Amino acid sequence: MEQKSCLRVAILISLFAISCGRELKSAHKDNLPVYNHTLAMTLVEYASASNFQVSRPTKHSGLQCLKPGLHVGRQVSGLVDHQDSTLIDQVTVLGFEMIELIVDVEHCLQGFVGVAKNLNAIVIAFRGSASIMNWIEDLYWKQLDLKYPGMPEAMVHHGFYSSYHETTVRPGVLHAVKLAKELYGDINIMVTGHSMGGAMAAFCALDLAVNQKIQNVQVMTFGQPRIGNTAFTSYYSQLVPNTIRVTNYHDMVPHLPPYYPHLTEKTYRHFPREVWLHGNGSSTSSYPVEKVCDGSGEDPNCSRSVAGTSIFDHFTYYEVKIISGTPGSCKIVMDPRVASYSTQDLAGNFVLYRDPSAASVVEVKTETSTPSNFI
């Protein structure tokens, strides 16, 4: 076992060693999104909340989700934490209206769609991989094996693409977005996710912008891997320009799959814009420096300036624990009384749907439909 681990380390060092060389240029708009710390602190909570477990109903809505890992007493953007149990009540709590919870049991994927009053936006959040260690190991060897539809020379990995496009996730998301827009009008859409959930968030945002013709789509992901080649990132940054990728210290996942500048279109590449959280060199302060990176997507002065060697830096962003529960598990806890809220297919995948028109609608502003550039 020890020899196997040493071999993996040696291979990883070799991969990073040959990753230096001529940099490729990725076409992108000069109008890069503006980083907003307050928005990041809000969306990281939503990304964390996507690690839910379905539990017993409440007297208010008949539906709850247990969410281990939220800080006791924290109340941010509709995610409310009680002293005795951490729960997200699927009614209007602190201005957040849940529309749908989506659980693809077959592929161990889940997420939710709702409306946040304080953001004046529809929020879509995706959970990362439950089998995190196996998934990270697999990232080292993923190949660009799928031509992205309608984008010449754009290549992605089929596994990343299919997690959103070829599961029950996509129809669930589109159904919830349609309902939310019917009720709340043409408000902004903010898509978020952590780890594999970040990759799904990117494909979701691109789907909304290209196939659904929705212009006001914004993305912020945390610890997201690379998902496509240089041609793909050029298309993506033009079609979904309001995108922020947050990376943390030595988090290994943003370094994967590996980036080889000299392999032209055969290498993975990040799209802009990265914000790198890193130490400030002070032994008295644990709060990270937030470095806003350039528009290349592969700024050598940001996360690429350090080795991606830490799995622990992947689990916590802005002091919020995102990965929770038992590593490697894909366990869904469903109370029988929740059945009336659920639609289920033959594979066991289900959507928990709460009709928002039957409840009080959260008041949001609908004066503008233009992207807010994260400000």
User: Which residues are designated catalytic?
Assistant: 195, 251, 314
Token pair in block for residue 39:
């928005």
Which 3 state secondary structure label does DSSP give 268?
coil
**What is the Cα–Cα distance from 7 to 28, expressed in whole angstroms?**
38
The neighbour count for residue 285, using CB atoms within 10 Å, is: 10
- Distance between start and end Cα atoms, the chain: 50
**What is the Cα–Cα distance from 296 to 300, expressed in whole angstroms?**
9
Q: In one letter, which amino acid is 298?
A: E
Any bridge partners for residue 110, and if so which? Answer: 103
Q: 121-154 burial string, b = 16+ CB within 10 Å, else e?
A: bbbbbbbbbbebeebbeebeebebebebeebeeb
8-state DSSP, 199: H
